[in-house]
Amino acid sequence: MSLIQPGDHKAYMQLALEQAKKSPPKATNFSVGAVLVDLATNNILATGYTLELDGNTHAEQCCFMKLAAQYGVPEEKLKDVLPADMALYTSVEPCFKRLSKNLPCVERVLPLAGSIRTVYVGIMEPEKFVGSNTGKKSLEDAGISVVHVQGLEAEILAVATAGHVKS
């Protein structure tokens, strides 16, 4: 059981921000943190941050890759082994497009629709790399709520853009 009280969205977002701070600053990435929570038990199932795992990995991707390894299933089969009522907290809105040609995070979340019921975000994705993010609409069309957790925006943006050239 998590030490965070159930429904304390700001505390879970703070945990996602702490994960983001572990990400090495890089001019071509946002430093993002993610936390996947089983809502029935309030257990943290996985955490992740940008570039935590080999490759050009994103925070949500790292959560899912670690869970797939833990359960010994391909990422596409995670819905078969994960709880039926989860929330994903991510410091920056999940990406809908990857310039690296990796699978976008939104497309990693969509197969878990029905299990991941809500994605809580600290900030919406800045338009710096891929323009306007249409992922929120894709998630909502699949029945996944996207909720902005307010109160940490300035700190999340500062961490997310660490290593970027300021214009």
Cα 8 → chain centroid: 17
Q: Where are the beta strands (DSSP E) in 30-159?
A: 33-38, 43-49, 86-92, 116-123, 145-148
Catalytic (active site) residue 60: yes
Distance CA 69, CA 52 (A): 15
Place of tokens 């572990």: 22
Question: Which is catalytic among the residues 52, 60, 93, 125?
Answer: 60
Residue 22 burial by CB count (10 A; 0-12/13-18/19+): exposed, middle or buried?
middle
Give the active site residues.
Answer: 60
